[in-house]
Amino acid sequence: MTPSLPDFPAPSARDQAVLDASRTVVQLFLRERSVDFSVKELAGHTGLSERTFYRYFPRKEDAIRPFVAAAIAHVVAAVRTAPADLPPAEAFRHALAGLLDMGRSVDVETFLTLVNGTDRLRAVWLQVLTDAEEAFAGVVAERLDLPADSVHARFAGAVVVSASRLAIQPTSIASRPPSEVFAACMALVGPALLSRKE
Amino acid sequence: MTPSLPDFPAPSARDQAVLDASRTVVQLFLRERSVDFSVKELAGHTGLSERTFYRYFPRKEDAIRPFVAAAIAHVVAAVRTAPADLPPAEAFRHALAGLLDMGRSVDVETFLTLVNGTDRLRAVWLQVLTDAEEAFAGVVAERLDLPADSVHARFAGAVVVSASRLAIQPTSIASRPPSEVFAACMALVGPALLSRKE
DNA sequence: TGGCGGATTGGCAGAAACTGCCACACGGAT
DNA sequence: ATCCGTGTGGCAGTTTCTGCCAATCCGCCA
């Protein structure tokens, strides 16, 4: 039997191995409060050969990507399963807050500091966020009953990502909690972007 | 005498040399419709030694950065000098359209295709756009009389960048002209974000 | 059980990207 | 002429990354 839908690929053993390796790398970064490691070292810490490391991660800085992508997928899933009558903006806000609470297990703040302090990692971070726009556009489209590739949906996805990014920036955090900043941003864009038209 | 304000650095001869080199690289990419060149080749084409190339551009893909940054600075300047009574969204739309018209001298569309088709360049592109958010936030803050580092201004900057990015994406272009897409996005966010409150 | 085929792995060689160092060239001020 | 700060080129050495091949693992079928 085929236990999973063909177009919704079940996470293969390999994907899991990649994600594990990614998580190990991130934990190493956080433990040492540094990202200054050679590939040889990273491969050693993850129990992979150097060659396999490069097969898992096309470039060494991509090692953080699966971990971050998984976190975002978590948010998307949370929004998707939120009660249907919850306004999309609220659903996102809750999901985001949930993620940052989960942050007790991984110190989100130092992670972001490390990532933003390193050009190469910052680049990966931005790429992942840009990919997230698509996923967010998808769930917005679902909720508002729009085509997922419409300008409206895609723009909404991008706006939500922007608000999220702003909400978790250190300078914003200092002033007030992320979910407040996020809500403030959502209030600014008005109802046209994220409400279902009757 | 000191001919320029100390905190507004006059473009040094070196900066100009860097920008020239960057432009040369971009022109090479466009002429060959390829970005597949070694540093040795790029250095040769720009008339720089390999060593100096690395002094100008920390990583080889950064070679496109000054060129793109200059284009964005051009947009920012255009918005800044737009008539004060023009709504900010309109000012951005005009400036953007102007840039794309300038596109006759550099084929914007193939440039974006090349950049988006290469992970390393795409990363740089996204970084530059993220930097642009700050600059855009600055001119929005100017026009709306807000502090430049307020959440409102920064969010507005990010939203404008998102709309611009969406507007120049090939899939969007195919359907309708960029400045229309941009205007559609601006219409979605409503007046709260970009209008001066009386 | 034993072998077959596809996917994954590790090791090695080599290319390409990048850095540290130093000596040299240039231009302006003394 | 000399000094000095800035920029440059060249070279050696390190790190990152890729191509290739042989070895291994694993599900599967005979």
pLDDT at res. B131: 97
- On chain B, the residues whose CB falls within 8 A of the CB of A191 are 190
Interior CA angle at B35 toward B30 and B37, to 5°? Answer: 120
| Distance from C-alpha of B107 to C-alpha of B101, rounded to nearest angstrom | 10
pLDDT band of residue A5 (cuts 50, 70, 90) is very low
Q: Which residues of chain B have pLDDT under 50?
A: 1-6, 198
Whether B191 has its CB under 8 Å from any CB of chain A: the answer is yes
Supply angle C-alpha A91, A65, A68, rounded to 5.
25
Residues 6+ apart with CB under 8 A from A123: A61, B123, B124, B126, B127
pLDDT at residue B2, as a whole number: 40
C-beta of residue A71 within 8 angstroms of C-beta of residue A54:
no
CA distance B127 to B148: 20
Max Cα-Cα span within chain B: 58
Q: Is the pLDDT of residue A107 over 90?
A: no
A contact test, residue of B155, B159, B172 with most A CBs within 10 A:
B155
- CB-based contacts of A94, cutoff 8 Å, min separation 6: A78, A82, A86
* Residue with the two structure tokens 């910052």: A122
Give the orientation angle of helix B65-80 with respect to helix B13-32, to 10 degrees.
110
- Where is pLDDT greater, at B123 or A194? B123
Cβ contact B86:B111 at 8 Å? no
Tens of pLDDT, residue by residue over A114-137, are 999 999 999 999 999 999 999 999
Question: Could you say which of B59, B124, B189 has the minimum Cβ distance to residue A189?
Answer: B189
For B164-185, the pLDDT digits (tens) are 999 999 887 677 889 999 999 9
Question: Exposure of A197 by Cβ count < 10 A (0-12 exposed, 13-18 middle, 19+ buried)?
Answer: exposed
Q: In order of start, what are the domains of chain B with their CATH numbers?
A: 13-63 (1.10.10), 64-191 (1.10.357.10)
Task: Report d(CA B132, CA B136) in Å as an integer.
Answer: 6
Whole-structure pTM value: 0.92
Decide if A67 contacts A26 (C-beta within 8 A). Answer: yes
Residue with tokens 């005009």, as numbered in its chain: B94
Task: Over range A162-182, report the average pLDDT.
Answer: 89
Closest chain B residue to A189, measured at CA:
B189
State the SS3 of A121-170: HHHHHHHHHHHHHHHHHHHHHHHHCCCCCCHHHHHHHHHHHHHHHHHCCH
**A91, pLDDT greater than 60:** yes
Alpha carbons A139 and A77: distance in angstroms, whole number: 9
Contact A58 B181 (CB under 8 A): no
CB contact under 8 A, A166 and B154: yes
Chain-centroid distance of CA A90 in Å reads 18
Distance between CA atoms of residues A108 and A111, nearest Å:
5
Average pLDDT of the segment spanning A32-50: 97
* Cα–Cα distance for residue pair A61/A12, rounded to 1 Å: 23
- Say what the pLDDT of residue A191 is: 87
Interchain CB distance below 8 Å, A165 and B158 = yes
Count of helix runs (H) and strand runs (E) in chain A: 10, 0
How confident is the model at residue A104, as a pLDDT? 65
pLDDT at residue A96 in the model: 93
| Residue A156 near residue A140 (C-beta atoms within 8 A) | yes
CA–CA dist A157, B169 (Å, integer): 15
Q: Are B60 and B36 in contact (CB under 8 A)?
A: no
pLDDT band at A16 (very low <50, low <70, confident <90, very high): very high
Q: How is B64-94 classified by DSSP, letter by letter?
A: GHHHHHHHHHHHHHHHHTS-TTS-HHHHHHH
DSSP per residue, A62-86:
GGGHHHHHHHHHHHHHHHHTS-TTS
Quick check: A181 pLDDT over 90? yes
Residue A2 has pLDDT above 60, yes or no: no
pLDDT, tens digit, 9 for 90 and up, residues A52-89: 999 999 999 999 999 999 999 999 999 999 999 999 99
Q: Average pLDDT of chain A?
A: 91
State the Cα–Cα distance between residues A97 and A93, nearest whole angstrom.
Answer: 6
**What is the per-residue pLDDT for A59?**
97
Q: How far apart are CA B147 and CA B27, in angstroms?
A: 39
> Which window residues (31-70, chain A) lie with Cβ within 7 Å of strand C?
48-52, 55-56
Nearest nucleotide (CA of B18 to C1'): D7
